[in-house]
Amino acid sequence: MKRINIKLFLGCSVLMLTGQACTDLTETTYDVIPTSGSFGSTAAQQAALIGPLYSGLGNYYANMTNLNTVTDEQIVPTRGGDWKDGDNWKRLYTHTWDPVTDNGQFNGPWTWCYNNITSINQQLGTATSAGVKAELRALRAFFHYQAMDLFGNVIISDAVGNTTPAQSTRAQVFAFVEKELLAVYSDLSDVSGGAYYGRMNKYVADMILAKLYLNAQVYTGTPRWADAITRCTNIINSGKFQLPNDYFSNFVVQNQNSPEIILATPFDKSKRGGFHPQMQTLHYLNQLTYNIGTAPWNGFAAVTEFYNSFDDKDIRKKQWIVGQQYKADGTPLSDDGVPLVYRPEIESFAFDAGANGRLAGVRTQKYEIQRNNSFTEQDNDFVVYRLADVYLMRAEANLRLGNTATAITDANVVRTRTGLSPYTSLTLTELLAERGRELAWEYHRRQDMIRFGVFGAAKRFKPADSDNHWELYPIPRDQLALNPNLKQNPGY
């Protein structure tokens, strides 16, 4: 694979993945753990068996990328007949999704969480090493946290069993995740990077707990701002992570050595595929810009107002592709005789066929687009958690507690590398906007908008929500049919 440190923990999963060709569409099962035989009897062998479980974690990107369309930062317009898809993207964007029609959108993330939880429970049944058990329980807590955040009242699965599982309240799942992470914390590694790149350690546990506490008022009705500050401070004071001067170094093709990354999911274009933002966003003819093997799909774009929220002096604005596009040799590109110029304005959700609709909306290059790449997939690792988010979370918690000066100090740590003037005052509204600019398309936006009370606000092509039931996704109909103990979320 492309990184020696991945080999240190993927172990036998490398053998599982090596033979997969980029054009083989047969689904590979990554979450089946051997339940018999002698392998796994030692601590080293148990650590090797963790590899396939982390491959499951790698599907974080695949399960979150489409759902980012429910926020104010991502839109997938219909461009002639392209991206019509039964108006699926429009329903996500306008918060009018339907539990029946859109069941697949939600069943995917649900099964992602619980298939991985089941695999972890199977492995925990044979694990004897305290470190391995702690790591597995922390990973299991992460998947429970994701399920709770997306669906609310979900299942707590802490062992392999034959009975139909009960549905727990969101507050109960919150308490379970918190208890699990605190229980294993002392047995988790304090190593970051190297063999622990992309794995659960103390700092990832602190990050999950910080997210849990930052959103505690949403999840349980009781705020936990001070607890969020404590967990953020653990990460910052560890000295294990730093903000590089170059914001975009977090997202380059070979980004595994960024000192800012707390948790990433490793990708490799030939060994562990699944990361292809260039395909989702670029115009078909941008294949000639980057000399890539397949024409992109011309779909995802930035919402106009979100793009316009970036100051021209903000270096982070360079994450967007706007204006005239060129071939690799510098020749200007055109689409049906029309200069291929990306424009920020998206005048309609559904365009007629033709170049006008195909060129609407700026596209993303936040993750470096891999040039001369014959694969559909890229080698960049997807960043789940990084240090800038920690500073902004601590700033928010302090701001909500009235510690404005402290909040400004933390926000300015992030602001320093943007090219913008430091804050001298700070409001929650501005902090939400800053989180949007810093963390764009990193899949924190839905959670942030809910916490700040603006998820249901009106946006381009969408009126204000009539109620807040859209803040939870529907329990998938497939799961309701399988488990009579599950009850649908209100409003669906």
Q: Is 340 within 8 Å of 331 (Cβ atoms)? A: no
Exposure string for 458-481, b = 16+ CB within 10 A, e = fewer? ebeebeebeeeebbbbbbbbebbe
Query: Helix, strand or coil for residue 70?
Result: helix
Residue ranges of domains in the chain:
4-22+35-271+383-482, 277-366
Where are any strands of DSSP class E within 203-251?
none
Residue 323: DSSP 8-state? E
Task: Give me the amino acid identity at 474.
Answer: P
Nearest to 51 by CA among 20, 18, 8: 8
What's the rounded Cα separation, in Å, for the pair 429 and 209? 24
pLDDT for residue 4: 35
Task: Decide if domain 4-22+35-271+383-482 falls under CATH 1.20.1050.10.
Answer: no
pLDDT for residue 38: 55
Q: Is 388 within 8 Å of 260 (Cβ atoms)? A: yes
What's the rounded Cα separation, in Å, for the pair 266 and 258? 13
Per-residue pLDDT of the chain (492 residues; tens, 9 = 90+): 444 344 333 333 322 333 333 333 334 343 444 444 556 566 567 667 788 889 999 999 999 999 999 999 999 999 999 999 999 999 999 999 999 999 999 999 999 999 999 999 999 988 888 999 999 999 999 999 999 999 999 999 999 887 889 999 999 999 999 999 999 999 999 999 998 999 999 999 999 999 999 999 999 999 999 999 999 999 999 999 999 999 999 999 999 999 999 999 999 999 999 999 999 999 999 999 999 999 999 999 999 999 999 999 999 999 999 999 999 999 999 999 999 999 999 999 999 999 999 999 999 999 999 999 999 999 999 999 999 999 999 999 999 999 999 999 999 999 999 999 999 999 999 999 999 999 999 999 999 999 999 999 999 999 999 999 999 999 999 999 999 999 999 999
pLDDT for residue 163: 85
pLDDT for residue 33: 43
| Token pair 């009579």 in the structure block, residue | 484
pLDDT for residue 34: 45
What's the rounded Cα separation, in Å, for the pair 101 and 92? 12
pTM of the predicted protein model = 0.91
pLDDT for residue 39: 61
